[in-house]
Chains A and B, each alone.
Chain A
């Protein structure tokens, strides 16, 4: 009997059993997560990116805003590459960098890749915000870090307008500012990574900046101190963003391969490409604005 069964097993085709998925119930998952955090049993990369914390805590919070508050639509997802390096270049607005956060959610949820943003050094001076930005996978905007991330085949995101864009008055909404000094183009050329233009429409209305208290900003060492219809009038309540409707449009990649890495040393090429990318993003912003229609509905 025993031998017979053995023989039958040997010829029977092996049907793999589906491995039971460990702790799929939310409570079990939370307990496992808390235990990992308590024991320090998780890994971060050299930038301090902590995927465990990002997926379990940071992204779900941002996703709630993304889905229920701003009700964001994304178009042009087919332009996001499934693998390989690329540099996403987007317009910047909204007084606080909510657009950066929302773009991270869009890319993570649709392309299933982390978006590594290049941020202002101010972010890394502010307690809590600085290390949370690192744990969410972001780093400081400098050529070295950008090069390193692109070399690791990451999706890198950059807002070349910087503070000029995010801190512009409400009256100038959806008008793109100067695109820095074109450092992002140089980095993309060196890395041979395509530039993917992105237009974000809706962030302009979340904190309409109607005035700027410059002396106070100087005192606090900030680039601007915004006055919005609700802030500082309502105190901390003024920090609740207005629930505008958003549309994020991802454009077709601007391929840079024809230029070759030497073009990075040619300032004229860099300036021309910078202007070209800026015009593309500006046009995409106008188109997306038309399609979105009214901001509050």
Chain B
């Protein structure tokens, strides 16, 4: 599958954030790549080595000039904002309008060969009518109607449009499960860090995680090798939310879904917390599992970290949580058993 010439000039969007920076670093270590250009709206907090940083707002046509001037042949588009870090309208504009501008520029540029787009497992939505496992060909039982999940679904639609118009482009779209790992900061990791973690009463969703190292490796391979298509990306195996929280030693309190969203709203308004977006809440109610065999077959590679191992690595890097209930249980049974 490597008939096309390999990447020489790579443009990475979203390098100011941890995933983008790590992918840029991984790509610049490849001697076959002449130039790595990183773009974002703000400067990255760390230096990126030989990656050339260009500050550009994706929502403006300026990106077309950069792609044309540098004769970019590969674009790795990672600028999907998944966290509700600002007003919803702004994030939507960053995600959707930014992608539209980038795709328009890609369509115009004759040097373009490969496009790799970060999407999300959230495009499958979460509902009680879901199949237990989603394959890439499955349609969501209930398409997402809110937040970044809806953005991701719209972005995929625009990518399909570009693919129709530029059939010579090799396009890979990656639907990532939730990232976990020592360096990950996401709505879910913030949820895990709450002093007492609320869960939806009467539900115990199935979850999948992807270690950030594996995410970077998949993106690197997709950028330098030729694997067109849509792929689910997640660590092997499944964890239940209850299991996840017990392994992370988090105290939990089950409560009805409505009161969680009210609580999250109050936290966002008064406590500066990120709140519970409707899609996060649906995911924490019904969960979602993806079939990752297509990616494994295509790359002949499996993520190094399983879902369990990704969680374990994440937990190990955090300050030790309260193992008090378990310790108490052990001490009690030891006393009683004597």
A interface list, Cβ under 8 A from B:
31, 34-35, 37-48, 50, 121, 124-128, 130-131, 134-135, 139-140, 142, 144-145, 148
Binds A, one of B32-40, B126-134, B297-305: B126-134
Are A40 and B333 interface neighbours, CB within 8 A? no
Knowing A35-B330, A127-B203, A134-B206, the reply to whether A42 touches B243 (Cβ < 8 A) is: yes
Knowing A34-B329, A131-B204, the reply to whether A145 touches B131 (Cβ < 8 A) is: yes
Are A38 and B329 interface neighbours, CB within 8 A? yes
Say yes or no: is B202 at the interface (Cβ < 8 Å to chain A).
Answer: yes
Nearest Cβ on chain B to A131's Cβ, whole angstroms = 4
Are B138 and A144 interface neighbours, CB within 8 A? yes
* Residue among A31, A127, A142 with most chain B CB within 10 A: A127
Are A130 and B206 interface neighbours, CB within 8 A? no
Give the contacting residue for B242; candidates A40, A127, A128, A145; CB below 8 A.
A40
A121 and B141 alpha carbons, distance in the complex (Å): 11
* Residue among A40, A42, A48, A121 with most chain B CB within 10 A: A40
Contact residues in B for A38 (Cβ distance below 8 Å): 246, 325-326, 329
Say yes or no: is B289 at the interface (Cβ < 8 Å to chain A).
Answer: yes
Known pairs A124-B129, A131-B202 / 5 extra A-B pairs, C-beta < 8 Å: A38-B325, A39-B247, A40-B242, A46-B237, A135-B204
Closest-by-CB residue of B relative to A47 is B132
Say yes or no: is B309 at the interface (Cβ < 8 Å to chain A).
Answer: no
Say yes or no: is B281 at the interface (Cβ < 8 Å to chain A).
Answer: no
A125 and B202 alpha carbons, distance in the complex (Å): 10
Nearest Cβ on chain A to B236's Cβ, whole angstroms = 9
Say yes or no: is B238 at the interface (Cβ < 8 Å to chain A).
Answer: yes
How many residues from B make CB contacts under 8 Å with A?
33
A128 and B202 alpha carbons, distance in the complex (Å): 4
What 9 A-B pairs have minimum CB-CB distances, sorted nearest first? Answer: A127-B202, A40-B246, A124-B128, A131-B204, A40-B247, A40-B243, A125-B128, A144-B131, A128-B202
Are A45 and B238 interface neighbours, CB within 8 A? yes
Give the contacting residue for A127; candidates B131, B135, B201, B205; CB below 8 A.
B201
A183 and B242 alpha carbons, distance in the complex (Å): 34
Say yes or no: is B48 at the interface (Cβ < 8 Å to chain A).
Answer: no
Say yes or no: is B162 at the interface (Cβ < 8 Å to chain A).
Answer: no
A135 and B287 alpha carbons, distance in the complex (Å): 14
A124 and B131 alpha carbons, distance in the complex (Å): 11
Interface string of B318-329 (1 = CB under 8 A from A): 000000011001
Interface string of B229-265 (1 = CB under 8 A from A): 0000000011110111111000000000000000000
A121 and B131 alpha carbons, distance in the complex (Å): 10
Knowing A40-B246, A44-B240, A45-B238, the reply to whether A148 touches B133 (Cβ < 8 A) is: yes
Contact residues in B for A131 (Cβ distance below 8 Å): 202-205, 240
Knowing A35-B329, A35-B330, the reply to whether A44 touches B132 (Cβ < 8 A) is: no
Nearest Cβ on chain B to A286's Cβ, whole angstroms = 35
A8 and B286 alpha carbons, distance in the complex (Å): 64
Are A44 and B128 interface neighbours, CB within 8 A? no
Contact residues in B for A34 (Cβ distance below 8 Å): 329
Knowing A38-B329, A44-B206, A44-B239, the reply to whether A140 touches B246 (Cβ < 8 A) is: no
Closest-by-CB residue of B relative to A40 is B246
Interface string of B279-293 (1 = CB under 8 A from A): 000000011010000
A121 and B132 alpha carbons, distance in the complex (Å): 11
A83 and B202 alpha carbons, distance in the complex (Å): 34
Contact residues in B for A145 (Cβ distance below 8 Å): 131-133
